[in-house]
Chain A
Amino acid sequence: METEQKLAEKEIKIRAKDRIIAWPRMGRIDIPLKALVQSLGAKVVIPPANSNEALELGVRNSIEGICLPYKLNLANYMMALDKGANTLMMFQAPGSCRLGNYTKMAQKTLKQMGYKFDMVIFDMYKSKMVQTLQAFWHVTHCLNPYCYYKGFSLGFNKLFAIDTAERLLFYTRPRELNKGDAEKCYHKWLRIADETNSVRKAKRLKKQVIEDFKKIPIDKDKKVPKVYLIGEFFVLLDPYTNQNIEKELGEMGVEVQRQIMFSDWLEHVLKPSIFYKKESHRERCVKYAKKYMKRAIGGECIETIGDTVYAAKHGIDGIIHISPFSCMPEIVAQNILPKVSKNENIPVLSLVLDEQTGKAGYITRIEAFIDLIKRRQQKYAI
């Protein structure tokens, strides 16, 4: 009896309606998740955007050898808890890399620091949709199926709209006539997507975004070098960590293309395989990477290699590969990339990011790389 009581005491019980939910930042996932959780009737807290302050907080409280994304995640949790959150949500994908250990470690660290919270974790490995629904049921106790429909529909449509806006932003930025137009348009649509509250309106978002971007005056005949941005998922999506590389490249007059988009990935992961007919990004990567890699080894290694081969075969001028320091799958990718670059005849620049990356040196390397690509283009033009 005693032990049972103790156990009950140990577990922090939070009633569903008292829950205030938070999750770590990753790209723009905050907008769709907020829509989902709010339509299920729970409160949310969104941690402030990643910044030097957040990173410092994360670095101070985590071990030395862990990778950069964890440090930022931990800081997000802490900031959200300080703002009043009591439930943390996080997905995990075991069998990938250290990502599977994040939640375990974060829980331990936060408890040691004296925070009181409940962490809800859902696996992204087989039967994902069921687990995801279970997790959301656990935090909201919402039984109304319409709410789930509304939440997921809102979330997905917003996500698609945001990703479309991002893709168009990449296309428009190097070509725009008035500097800053595309950026403004993108931020406007982020705000509108966040404010949209009905499924009908959310479904129209994507079309509206495309139309609005068409209105921006651009120089259509401008010759723009195209660069693929590949590498580790988190670093690619988080503008703070990658030092806003997309913007820097866009302003240099380079069109960036990113194959890893949140909506694609989430759709592939969550949709039951019967409804998912088209070839997913991962399948395509496995197909293209076959010459160099025979098996997936976790993380985004095979995507990195597959995308590089794909890019070389589809007229892309260069590859920029970014990864956090000591990322295990990306180190394997880095080892393989030189051979791919040589065999497929495509220039590759590998950049490793950590909390001490200096922006000036980083930009110099990118500039040199872009110069190389431009000169190469001239050479082939002759």
Chain B
Amino acid sequence: MKDTLRYKKIGIPRAISYYNNYPFYYGFFKSLGLEIILSDKTTTAIINSGTKYVVSDTCLPVKVYAGHVVNLLEKGCETIFIPSIQSTDYKINNCSKIRGLPEIIRNIINKPFTIIEPTLDKTEGLGFYDFWTETANALGIKDQKTIKNAVDAGWKIYDDFMTMTNSGVSYNEALQNAIEGKLLKKTVDIVKPLSVVIMAHGYNLFDERISLNLIKKLEKMGVKVYTSLNISREQSQEALKKLGEIQYWANELELTGCAAHYLLNKKVDGIIALSAFGCGPDSLMVDEISHHCKEKGMPLIHLTIDEHTGEAGFITRIEAFVDMLMRKKRNTLIQNAKPKAKADIINIKKEKILTGSAK
């Protein structure tokens, strides 16, 4: 089958859909016999090169995406995979900018290159299988059996990846192992004094430059971090239903669904919402969740990022939030303690204050 392939290499920008779907892409394209070229990890230089091409109102993830495409072109990759994911279910649509990614890239970059641009639009009846058939056809493969095998190979790696992340393996580790075909199981669960859930798009959270390494920063402060990858799709759908909300956005499960799951089972002490400045869907979803958080008394912080975000201010805000969570937890522990112990603590506090003033 290899001789019918129109292209030998395919470039995948390390942005937007890469973060959630790369295991699938890897399995699919490898099975077709293509060499995958990834763009470099996001750096300030990549963001700047992307910013040059788009208008200023565009959100950060799209700027980053443009930067990655430019990076791929600089690497000499002439065929780039830019999917247009319009809707993931009937009447459940994506953000316009993600829907129009190929349109934007085609019109802003004036260089000759081929875009593989399949459409996934379940509202209009273009299903998942049509999406991959369109991709394979664009690559020059028409044989149904080959396509089916490739989709199966994609699913296998994707499922492995999801099993690993669901069991608590970190994103990078799970991705590495899934691609190598290994299945890692996390056995020891480290108990930490605090735990939070981050509701964010995968492309914001797992991109270490965009999220300014938020996960690692929190882990250093002794906070256990949960993300949307730790729960399955069904779990978040169920949580969303329990909360009385209707899914409207394609990536709502990643944000509202995930936050709702942890909000309802009270596994976490706080919620961190991370979104890019000017993100349309996020503005609504964060509002929705903050409304429920207020009712249930769950602390929530909304962090907004853009290409100018200063790291110092970012850290200060996270530290303040973690400190507040710690104080809240300590207070609830004291209040729930036995009355006698409580009295003791108050006495000790008084003594301390007295001695302090005596000095």
Interface positions of A (Cβ within 8 A of B)? 63-67, 94-98, 100-101, 104-105, 108, 125, 292-295, 297-299, 301, 325-326, 328-329, 331-332, 334-336, 338-340, 350, 352
Contact = CB atoms under 8 A, between A and B. Distances in A.
A229 to B, nearest CB: 19
Contacts of B287: 63, 65, 105
Contacts of B57: 325-326, 331, 334, 352
B296 to A, nearest CB: 16
A328 B93 contact: no
Given A65-B279, A295-B119, A326-B57, A336 B103 contact: yes
A303 to B, nearest CB: 13
A332 to B, nearest CB: 4
A326 B291 CA distance: 22
24 contacts: A63-B284, A63-B287, A94-B248, A95-B91, A95-B93, A95-B123, A98-B280, A108-B291, A125-B91, A295-B100, A297-B84, A299-B96, A325-B57, A326-B283, A328-B96, A329-B96, A331-B57, A332-B97, A332-B100, A335-B55, A335-B108, A336-B104, A340-B107, A352-B57
Contacts of A336: 103-104, 107-108
B96 A298 contact: yes
The 5 closest A-B CB pairs, nearest first, are A65-B283, A328-B96, A297-B100, A297-B99, A332-B100
Contact of B96 (A64, A94, A97, A325): A97
A92 to B, nearest CB: 11
A65 B99 contact: no
Given A65-B280, A65-B282, A335-B55, 7 more contacts: A67-B280, A94-B248, A332-B100, A335-B54, A335-B58, A339-B110, A350-B55
Given A97-B280, A298-B93, A334-B55, A339 B103 contact: no
Contact of B280 (A64, A326, A340): A326
Contact of B100 (A96, A301, A326, A339): A301
Interface of B: 54-55, 57-59, 84, 86-87, 91, 93, 95-97, 99-100, 102-104, 106-108, 110, 117, 119, 121, 123, 246, 248, 278-284, 287, 291
A157 B73 CA distance: 56
B284 A295 contact: no
Contacts of B97: 328, 331-332
A329 B110 CA distance: 22
Given A95-B87, A334-B55, A336-B103, A105 B93 contact: no
Contacts of B106: 292
B22 to A, nearest CB: 23
B191 to A, nearest CB: 37
Contacts of A67: 280
A94 B91 contact: yes
A332 B62 CA distance: 10
A113 B96 CA distance: 31
Contacts of B117: 294
A357 to B, nearest CB: 14
B93 A94 contact: yes
A301 B95 CA distance: 13
B103 A293 contact: yes
Contacts of B58: 331, 335
Contacts of B280: 65, 67, 97-98, 326, 328
Given A65-B278, A335-B108, A294 B284 contact: no
A326 B284 CA distance: 13
A101 B284 contact: yes
B249 to A, nearest CB: 9
Contacts of A293: 100, 103
A100 B246 CA distance: 12
Contacts of B84: 295, 297
Contact of A295 (B103, B107, B278, B279): B103
B280 to A, nearest CB: 5
Nearest to A98: B280
A65 to B, nearest CB: 3
B86 A295 contact: yes
Contacts of A297: 84, 86, 96, 99-100, 103
B108 A339 contact: yes
A338 B107 CA distance: 9
